[in-house]
């Protein structure tokens, strides 16, 4: 992929409201398609995660090299278990009312690269307009019976590209997204 995605060194999570309006039948169909696990099933390089953790711990100097090795191994195991649980929910869980991976799935070729690979990030940026899964997606009280109202946090940017793709794929629906920069 060409170009480099805009990604901050430390993620700035932005709060959003998204209202989706349309006929009851189309809105119900969209809501069913949009639900998912809320996780991206990346292939993680656990060896690299363990090595990076070891180097960070060793440089910090708070632990011996032996202690840094033990803790890095424990961190690797914890990351592996948590990731396995999350990936196991993809395709089965419907806990997240707006899962971008359910609506606009990341292709397997990019999933195999991992979440930090420049080409994977470029795909997310080009197709979602953000470089991570949405977080804390919740339903809000809707203004009308034919409105699905959601709130969520997105990484660094408003997911405009995902919203535009949903508008194209679901022309019968009206999508209104508003970022909220203050405390909500």
pLDDT digits (tens, 9 = 90+) for 14-69: 999 999 999 999 999 999 999 999 999 999 888 998 999 999 998 888 889 999 89
The span from the CA of 19 to the CA of 26, in Å, is 14
Q: Just give the CATH number of 1-39+96-184.
A: 3.30.70
The span from the CA of 32 to the CA of 170, in Å, is 13
The span from the CA of 41 to the CA of 50, in Å, is 19
Q: From edge to edge, which strands make up the β-sheet containing 147-155? A: 135-140, 147-155, 13-21, 174-180
pLDDT band at 5 (very low <50, low <70, confident <90, very high): low
CA distances from 36 to 66, 74, 145, 167, 179 (A): 41, 29, 22, 19, 22
Q: Is 112 helix (H, G, I), strand (E, B) or coil?
A: coil
Ordered by start, the domain boundaries in the chain are: 1-39+96-184, 42-89
Tokens, residue 128: 């979602």
């Amino acid at each position: 992929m060409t170009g480099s995605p805009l990604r901050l060194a430390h993620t700035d999570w932005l709060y959003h409201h998204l209202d989706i309006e349309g006929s009851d039948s189309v809105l119900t169909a969209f809501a069913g398609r949009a639900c998912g696990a809320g996780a991206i099933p990346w292939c993680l390089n656990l060896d690299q995660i363990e090595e990076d953790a070891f180097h960070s711990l060793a440089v910090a100097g708070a632990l011996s090299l032996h202690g840094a090795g033990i803790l890095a191994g424990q961190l690797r195991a914890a990351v592996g278990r948590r990731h396995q649980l999350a990936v196991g929910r993809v395709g089965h869980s419907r806990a997240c009312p707006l899962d971008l991976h359910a609506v606009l799935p990341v292709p397997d070729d990019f999933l195999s690269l991992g979440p930090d690979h420049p080409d994977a990030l470029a795909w997310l940026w080009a197709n979602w307009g953000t470089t991570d899964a949405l977080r804390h997606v919740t339903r809000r009280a809707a203004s009308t019976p034919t409105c699905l109202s959601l709130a969520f946090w997105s990484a660094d940017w408003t997911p405009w590209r995902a919203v535009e793709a949903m508008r194209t794929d679901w022309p019968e629906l009206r999508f209104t997204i508003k970022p909220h920069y203050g405390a909500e």
